[in-house]
Each structure stands twice: as structure tokens, then as C-alpha cells.
């Protein structure tokens, strides 16, 4: 469902994503309600791991093609240069009402609280590339004497495009590692102010800052190779596609060897893409919403290429197809999300590339 401002907030309605997509994935405990008899579709609110028929895929492709006439260049430029104003307006209107309680965070991303046992039995595992629940390698000696927020921490997480803290506050609540430090940034100063004014905000464990991910000259407040985890949840899609690669490369440099980048975002032909009206397309698979905020819809391969080109290695790259049902209105909504984990490899030792 879209919020009044037009941003799709239904991304949180899932419990835990179901999509298997890769033969190397074992199924999680959640996400196992499968629709085997189409006549039963309105019996539940949601169905997991929905298979799309070729006709459905072709119809989605046609719909996207029909609506792919890009807006005029000057309009595009305006949406780009004023992007943070549109997000500021969004948070001024919605404030903390955009806050979501994300139960799936720790089942899907146990790296956010590696010492917390509660979620371990439900986490997906990836055969052949074991999930690492240990901190990544220590920062290289050159960083150890540098003073920066969270210098003394032993486990550092950065959430980029954090909004009002939908991920940050659950991490601070769930991860009770005394060595934890959480950085979070957004280019909306309104969002960052909302994080700081949240009663759960603790400056001893968390450092929020305003930052434009796509600005090549903007400096992060942490040194290179200092972070264990970087989180991008429904944020890369808000960037202009031309700026994504450099953004990911800059972020990858901040990861320690062995550190991991976690992403969940919109997938190609998600309902939100198919319902864009004519006149909202900026470029292929990239649109502007009614409130001026922008969104891209990814394929798995596109994300794989972005992360690989930044020197990261795949741990997980899956598509999560889910059918949500509005039983009252008898509506079906086909959602598509992509979820990725990519790891920075450890430095070469002899001839070998070390993976954990
Ligand atoms: C769909 S919201 C998701 C917010 C948050 N990750 C969540 O899941 O609740 C996208 C967020 O990305 C932020 N954002 C968009 N472009 C950005 C940029 N270039 N630099 C930093 N943040 C950006 C927006 O301000 C917004 O808070």
C-alpha cells in the first residue's frame, strides 16, 4: 500500500521473505505458505514463493515497455538536484509514522546481531559459503590510533539511508554486544533529526549523520576497512542508476576484509513498478513518485554486477516473490523483492584467496 505521499511502505508487511531462487538456499522456518490451489487465494493474507507463469511475466514486461517514455531532461535534472528536499518533505509529513517493526531483520540478516541466539534456528544458510557470525578481521593497525566515533568498538555496523531508524533501533535493542557501535546516515536532515530525538537513541552506541551517498566528495566519519556490516534497505533504489556503482565502490572500501554488505530492495516487476502511471518514468525501470521521490526496480544480475565490480563476493542473492491479498477488497498484489549479502574477501595469503 502506498503512503499518502506516494512512497510504498508495504515493504514491511512480510514476516520473513520466502524466496528460494537459488538451489544452494535451505528454506527458512517462515515463508512456507504456498498457494497450491488458486481457488483458495483469499483464505490468507499472503502466500510465499509464488511462481510466475510465462504469461504473467510477459504481461509485466509489456506493461513496463508501454510506460517507458522518459520525462524531459530538465524535469529529470530537477528531481535529481532536489532529491533530498523531496525526502525531507516526506519525513516532515510522515514523521515517525513511517516507522515499522521489522521482525524479519534478524532471521534474514543474523549478521546484525551475531551473538544473539534467538534468531539462529530460523536463519537461511548458504551451502558452500558458511554464514559468518564472527566479527570480520580486525581493522588494519593504521586505524587503531585514529580517533573517530566508535573507535573503541569491536563490531561496527553502518546503515545507509536509515530514514527514521527502522533498522537502527531494532539493532540497538537486539544486539547487546558491549563492543557494538551503530552508524547511520541519511541525506534527509529531517530523518536524521527524528533518529536523534527518538527516546531509544543512545549517543554512546550510535552515531547518526547527514550524508548524501551519491556525492563523491562527501566523506564518511569512519576510516576505510573499519566496518563489519553495511546495511542498505530500500535505499539503493532511491539513487540515480548512473550513481549506483561508484556509491557501492565507496561503501565497499569501508568494509573490513571479511565484512559484509546486506541489501533488501525492490525487484523487477514488483507491483509498485507495474502500477506507475504514464509520465512517471525517468529512465528504464526508474520512476518518480507523486511526491518527487524516485525508485529503481532491480534484477538479481544487476545487483550482482554492481557488487562484484566493487570487489565483493556473493554469499546470497535471491528474489523473494510474494502474493499479498486484500481479502476485504478481494485484491491480489504480486510483490517482488531482492535480497543480497556480499562479502569483502580477506587479503590474499600466498596464492589463496581466503573466504569466511
Ligand atoms: C524508502 S526509504 C527507506 C528508509 C529506511 N532504509 C527504511 O527502510 O525504513 C529511502 C531512504 O533513502 C534516503 N536516501 C535517498 N537517497 C539518498 C542519498 N543519495 N543519500 C542518502 N540517503 C538517501 C531517503 O532519505 C530515505 O530515508
Give the pLDDT confidence score for residue 251 in this predicted structure.
98
Closest listed residue to residue 306, CA positions, set 283, 256, 340 = 340
Determine the structural domain holding residue 162 and report its residue range. Answer: 10-344
Q: Rounded distance, CA 121 to CA 119, Å?
A: 6
pLDDT score of 137: 60
Q: What is the pLDDT of residue 42?
A: 73
Distance CA 323, CA 47 (A): 5
Classify residue 1: in a domain, yes or no. Answer: no
227-233 and 312-326 strand pairing = unpaired
Going from the Cα of 337 to the center of ligand 1, the distance in angstroms, rounded, reads: 16
For helices 83-94 and 189-196, give the axis angle rounded to 10 degrees.
40
On whether residue 15 sits in a domain, the answer given is yes
Q: What are phi and psi of 227, to 5 degrees?
A: -105, 145
**Atom in ligand 1 nearest the alpha carbon of residue 99:** 9
Ligand 1, atom 13: nearest CA belongs to which residue? 161
Centroid of ligand 1 to alpha carbon of 230 (angstroms): 14
Cα 343 from Cα 356, distance rounded (Å): 9
Asked if 188 and 293 count as a contact pair (C-beta separation under 8 A), the reply is: no
In a domain, 2, yes or no: no
Segment-wise mean pLDDT, segments of 10 residues, the chain, 356 residues = 41 37 38 73 76 90 92 90 93 75 86 75 39 48 72 97 94 95 96 95 98 96 97 97 98 98 97 94 96 97 98 96 82 91 83 53
Asked whether residue 336 is assigned to any structural domain, the reply reads: yes
At 53 the pLDDT is 87
Q: Does 356 reside within a domain?
A: no
**Which residue has the CA at smallest separation from atom 15 of ligand 1?**
238
Q: What is the pLDDT of residue 144?
A: 59
Instruction: Write down the pTM of the prediction.
Output: 0.85
CA 288 to ligand 1 center in whole angstroms: 14
How many folded domains does the chain comprise? 1
327 alpha carbon – ligand 1 mean position (Å): 31
- CB 154, CB 227: distance < 8 Å: no
- The enclosing domain of 322 has a CATH number of 3.40.50.150
Beta-carbon contacts of residue 349 (< 8 Å; ≥ 6 apart): none
- Ligand 1 neighbours (beta carbon < 6 A): 7, 83, 87, 161-163, 166, 186-188, 191, 211-214, 233-235, 238-239
What's the DSSP call for residue 8? B
Ligand 1 atom index nearest CA of 214: 19
For ligand 1, atom 10, name the residue with the nearest CA. 235
Q: Measured from the CA of 212, which atom of ligand 1 is nearest?
A: 20
- Whether 337 contacts 270, CB under 8 Å: yes
Q: How many helices (H) and strands (E) does the chain have?
A: 9, 11
Query: Virtual CA dihedral for 12, 14, 16, 20, nearest 10 degrees?
Result: -120
Q: What is the pLDDT of residue 331?
A: 80
Q: Residue 293 C-alpha to ligand 1 middle, in angstroms? A: 10
Q: Looking at ligand 1, which atom is closest to the CA of residue 11?
A: 8
Pairing state between β 155-160 and 46-47: unpaired
Residue 101 inside a domain? The answer is yes
| 28 is a domain residue | yes
User: Could you count the other beta carbons within 10 Å of the beta carbon of residue 122?
Assistant: 16
Q: In whole angstroms, what is the distance from residue 280 CA to residue 252 CA? A: 32
- Cα 316 to ligand 1 centre (Å): 23
Task: Give, for ligand 1, the residue of 89, 168, 208, 235 to mutate: max count of ligand atoms closer than 8 Å to Cβ.
Answer: 235
How high is the pLDDT of residue 324? 83
pLDDT at 115: 81
Looking from the CA of 117 toward its CB, the CA atoms found within 13 Å total 0
CA 213–ligand 1 middle distance (angstroms): 9
Does residue 354 sit within a domain? no
How far away, in angstroms, is 34 Cα from ligand 1 center? Answer: 32
The tens digit of pLDDT for each residue in 234-275 reads: 999 999 999 999 999 999 999 999 999 999 999 999 999 999
What CA–CA distance (Å, rounded) separates 340 from 319?
9
Please name the residue whose Cα sits nearest to atom 11 of ligand 1: 161
User: CA of 198: how far to CAs of 88, 195, 221, 234, in Å?
Assistant: 17, 5, 22, 21
Amino acid at each position: 500500500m502506498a503512503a499518502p505521499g506516494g512512497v510504498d511502505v508495504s515493504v514491511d508487511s512480510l514476516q520473513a521473505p520466502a524466496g528460494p531462487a537459488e538451489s544452494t538456499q535451505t528454506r527458512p522456518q517462515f515463508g512456507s505458505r504456498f498457494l497450491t490451489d488458486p481457488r483458495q487465494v483469499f483464505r490468507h493474507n499472503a502466500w510465499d514463493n509464488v511462481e510466475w507463469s510465462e504469461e504473467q511475466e510477459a504481461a509485466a514486461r509489456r506493461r513496463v515497455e508501454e510506460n517507458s517514455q522518459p520525462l524531459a531532461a530538465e524535469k529529470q535534472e530537477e528531481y535529481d538536484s532536489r532529491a533530498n528536499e523531496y525526502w525531507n518533505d516526506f519525513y516532515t509529513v510522515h514523521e515517525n509514522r513511517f516507522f515499522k517493526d521489522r521482525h524479519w531483520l534478524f532471521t534474514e540478516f543474523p549478521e546484525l546481531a551475531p551473538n544473539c541466539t534467538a534468531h539462529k534456528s530460523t536463519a537461511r544458510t548458504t551451502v558452500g559459503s558458511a554464514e559468518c557470525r564472527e566479527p570480520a578481521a580486525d581493522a588494519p593497525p593504521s586505524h587503531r590510533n585514529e580517533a573517530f566515533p566508535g573507535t573503541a568498538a569491536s563490531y561496527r555496523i553502518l546503515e545507509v539511508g536509515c530514514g527514521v531508524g527502522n533498522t537502527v533501533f531494532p539493532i540497538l535493542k537486539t544486539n547487546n554486544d558491549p563492543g557494538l557501535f551503530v552508524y547511520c546516515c541519511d541525506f534527509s536532515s529531517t530523518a536524521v533529526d527524528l533518529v536523534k530525538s527518538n527516546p531509544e537513541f543512545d549517543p554512546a552506541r550510535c552515531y547518526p549523520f547527514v550524508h548524501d551517498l551519491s556525492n563523491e566528495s562527501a566523506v564518511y566519519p569512519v576510516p576505510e576497512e573499519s566496518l563489519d556490516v553495511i546495511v542498505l534497505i530500500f535505499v539503493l533504489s532511491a539513487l540515480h542508476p548512473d550513481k549506483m556503482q561508484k556509491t557501492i565502490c565507496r561503501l565497499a572500501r569501508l568494509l573490513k576484509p571479511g565484512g559484509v554488505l546486506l541489501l533488501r530492495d525492490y525487484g523487477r516487476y514488483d507491483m509498485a513498478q507495474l502500477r506507475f502511471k504514464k509520465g512517471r518514468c525517468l529512465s528504464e525501470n526508474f520512476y518518480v513518485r507523486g511526491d518527487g521521490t524516485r525508485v529503481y526496480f532491480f534484477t538479481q544480475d544487476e545487483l550482482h554486477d554492481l557488487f562484484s565490480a566493487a570487489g565483493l563476493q556473493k554469499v546470497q542473492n535471491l528474489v523473494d516473490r510474494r502474493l499479498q491479498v486484500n481479502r476485504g477488497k478481494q485484491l491480489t498484489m504480486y510483490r517482488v523483492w531482492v535480497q543480497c549479502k556480499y562479502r569483502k574477501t580477506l587479503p590474499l595469503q600466498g596464492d589463496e584467496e581466503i573466504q569466511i
